[in-house]
């Protein structure tokens, strides 16, 4: 079947595009921008069309935008110039009159911003993940202390190395060893959850202390960082970011995605009523598959819906 699809894509698709261009007067990108709803359906349609293009100019444009986003230069005053250049190239290649098709220019520009903003976010998150936690770095240490103060505001930390860290789910007396693998990204995810979603974070922390269904809050949180990172990297998370980001996707959007996953995982864990922590891997895998299935719905929007429950 693969060879059949390849044949259709290579030979039939251009003929269909030519026919529709002749009958509608619109190129494929225009039909997508005018015909698909805003958000993931439109952005993914534009993304697919661009990457399937045989135009040498479009291919060079894609390479140029990939290089910019991979090096995290798609931001600030540079962003507007890049977007205008990309739109100009497509208008020339597709012979689109910008005076007539002003709405296309706006819609297409937004798609470019989201597509390569997402790619840039992957590079940014990976950079943060590669930064190892350094106990000699005052900024790293300050973030760790802030995490404690936000999660345990009424219980002072007695010392930097203390068994108290286990109260918020670290494995030992010194949390620095638990950030291996996810690096500073794991800490910043936890801190964002604890500071920006104080109620939900406190709610989840209380569940982690449950006598029957308890778990290590921080360790599980770092594991959820790994899940969020994998979903981002393999592209499944595009549904979330394309629907939620109104501007260039940023690390803040990734933190919010993480917070949703952590909050929902806690709810799923409690609903599963595990006999012990040994069920963690199986429940985690089931939860991740549920999330991936949800992300298949191009119009799905994830938001934390706080519900107070007792378990």
User: 86-113, pLDDT tens digit by residue?
Assistant: 999 999 999 999 999 999 999 999 999 9
Question: Measured at the alpha carbon of residue 29, what is the angle toward residues 26 and 35, in degrees to the nearest 5?
Answer: 75
Question: Measured at the alpha carbon of residue 178, what is the angle toward residues 174 and 179, in degrees to the nearest 5?
Answer: 115
User: Is pLDDT at 23 greater than 80 in this prediction?
Assistant: no
Return the structure tokens found at 245: 């980001």
Residue 303: pLDDT band by 50, 70, 90 thresholds? Answer: confident
Q: How far apart are CA 137 and CA 202, in angstroms?
A: 28
Question: What letters, b where the CB count within 10 A reaches 16 and e where it falls short, cover 286-298?
Answer: ebbeebeeebeeb
Q: What is the pLDDT of residue 311?
A: 46
Question: Measured at the alpha carbon of residue 73, what is the angle toward residues 241 and 50, in degrees to the nearest 5?
Answer: 55
CB 187 within 8 A of CB 145: no
Return the structure tokens found at 137: 């770095």
Question: Dihedral sign, CA of 20, 24, 26, 30?
Answer: negative
């Amino acid at each position: 079947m693969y060879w059949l699809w390849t044949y259709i894509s290579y030979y039939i698709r251009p003929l269909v595009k030519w026919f529709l261009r002749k009958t509608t007067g619109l190129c494929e990108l225009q039909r997508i921008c005018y015909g698909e709803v805003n958000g993931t359906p439109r952005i993914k349609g534009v993304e697919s069309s661009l990457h399937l293009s045989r135009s040498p100019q479009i291919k060079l444009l894609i390479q140029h935008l990939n290089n910019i986003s991979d090096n995290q230069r798609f931001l600030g005053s540079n962003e507007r110039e890049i977007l205008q250049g990309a739109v100009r190239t497509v208008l020339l290649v597709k012979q689109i009159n910008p005076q007539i098709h002003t709405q296309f220019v706006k819609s297409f520009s937004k798609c470019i911003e989201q597509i390569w903003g997402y790619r840039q976010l992957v590079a940014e998150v990976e950079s943060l993940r590669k930064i190892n936690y350094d106990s000699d770095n005052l900024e790293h240490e300050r973030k760790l202390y802030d995490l404690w103060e936000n999660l345990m505001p009424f219980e002072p930390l007695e010392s930097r190395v203390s068994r108290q860290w286990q109260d918020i789910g670290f494995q030992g007396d010194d949390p620095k060893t638990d950030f291996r693998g996810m690096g500073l990204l794991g800490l910043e995810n936890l801190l964002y959850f604890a500071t920006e979603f104080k109620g939900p974070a406190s709610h989840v922390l209380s569940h982690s202390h449950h006598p029957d269904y308890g778990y290590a809050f921080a360790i599980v949180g770092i594991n959820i960082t790994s899940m969020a990172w994998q979903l981002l990297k393999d592209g499944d998370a595009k549904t979330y970011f394309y629907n939620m980001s109104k501007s260039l996707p940023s690390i803040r959007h990734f933190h919010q995605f993480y917070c949703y996953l952590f909050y929902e995982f806690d709810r799923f864990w409690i609903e599963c009523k595990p006999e012990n922590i040994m069920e963690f891997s199986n429940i985690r895998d089931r939860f991740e598959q549920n999330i991936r299935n949800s992300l298949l719905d191009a119009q799905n929007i994830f938001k934390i819906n706080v519900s107070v429950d007792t378990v």
